[in-house]
């Protein structure tokens, strides 16, 4: 047997290193999958004592799963729609017309994208109590949209900059107005960009715990990110199998959505240059 070349040795070492990390990372994920199918699920990773779908059966009820997921959908769907429309409108003049306000505005937006929103949840709560928006879906949707907006505007503007101006100029010559050219020419041409902004906003809000946890009070309005807590506190004994099954049902949509846009996000990790270096 010929000795492996240095290149091969190095590749094997790299493979071994990566596999070690992957093994460490996969354990918690393996727990959730195995426990969801294990009739006697506990807290540790183990081969299931037989396979069962009972846990899924037990949680697929209106009260435990469907209502919270529907609430999540309404909250995140509404907020995403608002975010994307506002961001597209805002990005258009920022990308197309120059003025001395553009740069300061964009720098402010960039600054706002990285502010720790967690910090303002207490004053937001106090403010919402005062203006009677607490425990309302519309209040939560508006705040969600505002919190996601800086990043969405920034991302959208960068995608829009990639659409050549000449095509739009031709439309203008034919008598189209700016709003018409935005809707008929610019947005269709940057379809993948709009999709990235939409999916990204949705995924961020779907997983967000603190905002609905603070701003919503009625149990029947809670999205899945908060209602998952009930498996622990209020129901006494923790049914780990059901908790695992619910985690899977709740996480699957965002994982699928992420896979859909992963190529566009992945390649050069093109999050709009937000992390360019």
Q: Determine contact, residues 231/176, Cβ cutoff 8 Å.
A: no
Q: What is the residue whose two structure tokens read 């426990």?
A: 35
- Of 258-277, which residues contact another protein (CB under 8 A)? 258, 262, 265-266, 268-269, 273-277
Residue of 51, 126, 217, 260 interacting with another protein (CB under 8 A): 126
Span near another protein by CB under 8 A; candidates 39-47, 55-63, 184-192, 193-201: 39-47
CA distance 242 to 230: 11
Q: Which of 4, 29, 183, 220 binds another protein (CB under 8 A)?
A: 29
**32 in contact with another protein (CB under 8 A):** yes
Among 2, 50, 123, 236, binds another protein (CB under 8 A): 123
Interacting residues with another protein between 51 and 70 (CB under 8 A): none
Q: Does 169 bind another protein (CB under 8 A)?
A: yes
Neighbours of 239 (CB within 10 A): 16
The verdict on 175 binding another protein (CB under 8 A) reads yes
Contact 172, 181 (CB under 8 A): yes
82 binds another protein (CB under 8 A): yes
DSSP E strands: which ranges in 43-113? none
Q: Does 203 bind another protein (CB under 8 A)?
A: yes
Least Å distance, CB 233 to another protein, is: 10
Is residue 167 involved in binding another protein (CB under 8 A)?
A: no
**Contact residues for 178 (Cβ-Cβ < 8 A; gap 6+):** 92, 96
| Binding flag, residue 163, another protein (CB under 8 A) | no
CB 36 within 8 Å of CB 55:
yes
Residue appearing with tokens 């269709």: 188
């Amino acid at each position: 047997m010929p000795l492996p070349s240095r290149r091969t040795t190095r590749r094997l070492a790299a493979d071994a290193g990566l596999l070690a990390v992957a093994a460490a990372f996969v354990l918690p994920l393996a727990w959730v999958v195995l426990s969801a199918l294990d009739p006697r699920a506990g807290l540790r990773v183990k081969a299931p004592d037989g396979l069962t779908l009972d846990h899924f059966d037990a949680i697929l009820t209106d009260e435990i799963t469907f209502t919270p997921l529907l609430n999540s959908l309404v909250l995140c769907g509404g907020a995403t729609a608002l975010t994307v429309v506002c961001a597209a409108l805002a990005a258009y003049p920022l990308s197309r017309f120059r003025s001395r306000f553009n740069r300061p505005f964009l720098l402010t937006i960039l600054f706002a994208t990285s502010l720790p929103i967690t910090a303002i949840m207490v004053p937001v709560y106090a403010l919402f109590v005062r203006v009677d928006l607490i425990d309302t879906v519309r209040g939560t949707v508006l705040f969600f949209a505002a919190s996601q907006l800086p990043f969405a505007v920034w991302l959208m503007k960068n995608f829009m900059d990639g659409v050549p101006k000449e095509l739009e100029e031709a439309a203008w010559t034919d008598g189209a107005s700016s709003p018409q050219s935005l809707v008929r020419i610019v947005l269709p041409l940057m379809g993948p960009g709009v999709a990235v902004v939409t999916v990204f906003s949705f995924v961020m809000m779907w997983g967000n715990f603190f905002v609905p946890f603070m701003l919503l009070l009625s149990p029947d309005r809670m999205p899945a990110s908060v209602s998952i807590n009930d498996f622990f506190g209020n129901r006494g004994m923790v049914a780990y199998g059901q908790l695992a099954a619910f985690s899977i049902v709740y996480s699957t949509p965002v994982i699928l959505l992420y896979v859909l846009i992963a190529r566009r996000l992945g390649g050069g990790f093109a999050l709009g240059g937000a992390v360019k270096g």
